[in-house]
């Protein structure tokens, strides 16, 4: 089936990730944004997402603007929906980048109801992670959790408050009162506070006040003078626009993060603070899930995870987690120290490193090395229940030359007796269902099926039939064990390296 056949009669498409984020959905989004969509909308997360786009040999890393922004001059509308937590500092910077590169943003629309990220959100996010020691969530430090918390606690500011200085000042005073209480209770030393505040996203320390912790007038000045003026022309009621556009134009909903990081359905507490499922995404742009006619659930041919939290199929297990949490193990270090290690290395930690180097698995936002592991179909079966059965496989080519690969189909519980819903888990209990409770997931041993790899490079192949037999078997195996249906795969970094079937 071609892309055109897949999309025949469809007006609203969602692209979401079925793993822990970073599955390469950006490429599918880019292709759809360019070839099909009239409107491209984001509805969840914020500047914790990172998306690299190469256009005419120039590389852009965006965190907030939707992926269709480079097609603005063709009249495509890019929407930042009400479910997004919007850091104006990041967005203003992205708009300047686009400006300098000669791209227009005339059709960008920012929801007046998007949640506003304020300096105290970034400060609290960083301070909490600093305090934690062990058991860190390993957040991106972009203030995402505290921003959503203010929203749920019914005190948060929204983008519309940028348009009304008096309201902004009043509401800011209230949220800062609360933030001061929490920050004071942490009893951080002055040098630590300085370090936390001294960050480019916090105007390099200008928001810090040694007595009051937050310099309110400095925050108001920056938000009103630097951000409100720049963003005001783009702010509008995007929810009404989206609802009015359904059925009339081609709408692409661009997911962020992944189902397993969902605050509602993910591996709590090691999750982000939004719901990246198709449900959360639709809601975040002001639509209903049933408005989405086609949902593509992205599945990478292997798994990655950034930050803390259980990862049953991780290559190298705990050793890998510790290794990846050392941020000096970055791309440059691994390239020079480990480039000789083959994908078929005997040692699992090394194999994971080889996979990371080949798959370029380093965070676009934080540059952190991503933990790598085998494809987990217990987790995928679970994700399919939320995002639907239609799947798209990415980075299959990264596994080219892998003699054999393991795929997890079931877990064996290894922990102490523990009630999980209606089941008393005992050591040796077999689990077909994905347990989102991290204290269960930390105690499971993955049960693997070993599949034969393929030796031929898949990169230039243009049809499903021409793929190596072993890759076709891999695709069918994933479908059978996830109750999903694969509609295509990507077999290389370029936009052309994509097959629909
Ligand atoms: P936060 O979203 O910054 O609060 O981070 C919470 C958790 O989600 C951490 O484990 C992050 O590493 C993870 N996370 C957030 N955004 C992304 C993403 O875009 N890709 C992968 N992991 C992410």
Tally of domains in the chain: 3
* CA 256 / ligand 1 centre spacing (Å): 10
- Asked if the model's pLDDT at residue 448 lies above 90, the reply is yes
Domain end call among 330, 348, 373: 373
Residues 17 and 100 in one domain: yes
Residues 170 and 224 in one domain: yes
Taking only the tens place, the pLDDT of each residue in 231-282 is 999 999 999 999 999 999 999 999 999 999 999 999 999 999 999 999 999 9
Closest ligand 1 atom, residue 45 Cα: 2
Residues 331 and 294 in one domain: no
Ligand 1 touching residue 369 (CB < 6 A): no
Taking only the tens place, the pLDDT of each residue in 78-97 is 999 999 999 999 999 999 99
Residue 51 known to be catalytic: yes
Pairing of strands 430-431, 423-425: unpaired
Q: Which stretches of 190-237 are DSSP H helices?
A: 190-197, 216-221, 229-231
Residues 109 and 239 in one domain: yes
- Asked if the model's pLDDT at residue 363 lies above 80, the reply is yes
Domain end call among 206, 231, 256: 231
Which residue is closest in CA terms to ligand 1's atom 8? 272
The predicted pLDDT at position 57 comes to 75
Residues 62 and 200 in one domain: no
What single DSSP character describes residue 368? Answer: P
**Contact in structure between 456 and 436 (CB atoms under 8 Å):** no
**What secondary structure, in 3-state letters, does 92-127 show?**
HHHHHHHHHCCCCCCCEEEECCCEECCHHHHHHHHH
**What secondary structure, in 3-state letters, does 245-308 show?**
HCCCCCEEEECCCCHHHCCCCCCCCCCCCCCCCHHHHHHHCCCCHHHCCEEEEEEECCEEECCC
Residues 135 and 190 in one domain: yes
Ligand 1 touching residue 161 (CB < 6 A): no
Residues 101 and 241 in one domain: yes
Neighbouring C-beta atoms of residue 427, cutoff 10 Å: 12
Residues 107 and 121 in one domain: no
Residue with tokens 């204290």: 439
Round to whole Å and give the CA distance between 87 and 32: 26
Percent of the chain with pLDDT over 70: 100
> Which CATH number characterizes residue 88's domain?
3.40.440.10
Ligand 1 touching residue 138 (CB < 6 A): yes
Residues 31 and 46 in one domain: yes
Ligand 1 touching residue 137 (CB < 6 A): yes
* CA 306 / ligand 1 centre spacing (Å): 7
Q: What angle do CA 362, 363, 364 make, to 5 degrees?
A: 115
Taking only the tens place, the pLDDT of each residue in 190-239 is 999 999 999 999 999 999 999 999 999 999 999 999 999 999 999 999 99
Task: Work out the pLDDT band at 367, boundaries 50, 70, 90.
Answer: confident
In this predicted model, which residue has the larger pLDDT, 232 or 60?
232
Residue 445: inside a domain: no
Residue 322: inside a domain: yes
Pocket test for ligand 1, best of 126, 128, 140, 305 (most atoms within 8 A of CB): 140
Residue 208: inside a domain: yes
Residue 74: inside a domain: yes
- Asked if the model's pLDDT at residue 366 lies above 90, the reply is no
Residue 245: inside a domain: yes
Task: Work out the pLDDT band at 318, boundaries 50, 70, 90.
Answer: very high
Which residue is closest in CA terms to ligand 1's atom 20? 21
Residues 127 and 227 in one domain: yes
Residue 124: inside a domain: yes
Residue 78: inside a domain: yes
- Asked if the model's pLDDT at residue 419 lies above 90, the reply is yes
The chain-wide mean pLDDT, for the chain, equals: 95
**Contact in structure between 365 and 26 (CB atoms under 8 Å):** no
Residue 201: inside a domain: yes
- Asked if the model's pLDDT at residue 134 lies above 80, the reply is no
Interhelix angle 119-132/165-185, rounded to 10 degrees, is: 10
Ligand 1 touching residue 139 (CB < 6 A): yes
Residue 340 known to be catalytic: no
Task: Work out the pLDDT band at 136, boundaries 50, 70, 90.
Answer: confident
Closest ligand 1 atom, residue 274 Cα: 2
Closest ligand 1 atom, residue 308 Cα: 10
Selected catalytic residue, list 22, 72, 150, 291: 22
Residues 129 and 222 in one domain: yes
Residues 205 and 354 in one domain: no
Q: Which residue segment(s) compose the domain that 363 sits in? A: 314-373
């Amino acid at each position: 089936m071609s892309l055109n056949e897949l999309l025949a009669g469809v007006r609203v498409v969602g692209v979401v990730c079925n793993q822990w984020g970073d599955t390469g959905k950006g490429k599918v989004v880019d292709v759809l944004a360019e070839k099909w969509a009239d409107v491209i909308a984001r509805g969840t997360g914020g500047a914790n997402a990172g998306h690299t786009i190469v256009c005419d040999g120039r590389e852009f890393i965006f965190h907030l603007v939707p992926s269709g922004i480079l097609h603005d001059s063709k009249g495509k509308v890019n929407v930042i929906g009400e479910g997004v937590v919007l850091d104006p500092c990041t967005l203003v910077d992205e708009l300047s980048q686009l400006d300098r590169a000669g791209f227009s943003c005339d059709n960008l629309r920012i929801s007046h109801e998007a949640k506003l990220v304020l300096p105290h959100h970034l400060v609290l996010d960083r301070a909490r992670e600093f305090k934690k020691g062990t058991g860190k969530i390993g957040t991106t430090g972009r203030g995402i959790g505290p921003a959503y918390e203010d929203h749920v606690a019914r005190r948060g500011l929204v983008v519309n408050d940028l348009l009304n200085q008096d309201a902004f000042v009043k509401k800011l005073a209230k949220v800062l009162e609360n933030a001061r209480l929490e920050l004071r209770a942490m009893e951080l030393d002055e040098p630590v506070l300085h370090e936390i505040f001294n960050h480019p996203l916090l105007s390099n320390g200008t928001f810090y006040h040694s007595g009051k912790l937050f310099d309110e007038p400095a925050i108001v000045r920056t938000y009103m003078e630097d951000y409100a003026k720049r963003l005001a022309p783009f702010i509008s009621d995007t929810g009404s626009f989206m609802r009015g556009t359904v059925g009339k134009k081609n709408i692409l909903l661009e997911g962020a993060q992944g189902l397993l990081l969902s605050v509602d359905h993910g591996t709590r507490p090691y999750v982000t603070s939004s719901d990246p499922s198709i449900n959360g995404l639709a809601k975040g742009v002001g639509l209903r899930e049933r408005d989405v006619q086609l949902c593509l659930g992205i599945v990478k041919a292997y798994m990655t995870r950034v930050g803390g939290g259980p990862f049953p199929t991780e290559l190298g297990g705990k050793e890998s987690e510790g290794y990846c949490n050392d941020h000096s193990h970055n791309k440059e270090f691994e390239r020079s120290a480990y480039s000789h290690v083959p994908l078929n290395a005997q040692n699992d930690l090394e194999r994971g490193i080889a996979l990371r180097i080949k798959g370029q698995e380093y965070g676009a936002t934080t540059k952190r090395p991503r933990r790598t592991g085998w494809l987990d179909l217990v987790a995928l079966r679970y994700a399919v229940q939320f995002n639907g059965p239609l799947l798209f496989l990415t980075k299959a080519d990264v596994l080219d030359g892998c003699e054999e690969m393991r795929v997890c189909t079931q877990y064996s519980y290894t922990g102490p007796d523990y009630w999980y819903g209606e089941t008393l888990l005992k050591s040796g209990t077999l689990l077909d269902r994905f347990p989102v409770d991290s204290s269960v997931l930390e105690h499971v041993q993955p049960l693997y099926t070993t599949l034969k790899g393929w030796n031929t490079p898949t990169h230039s192949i243009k049809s499903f039939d021409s793929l190596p037999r072993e890759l076709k078997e891999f695709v069918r195996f994933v479908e059978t064990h996830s109750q999903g249906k694969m509609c295509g795969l990507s077999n290389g970094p370029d936009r052309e390296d994509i097959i629909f079937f």
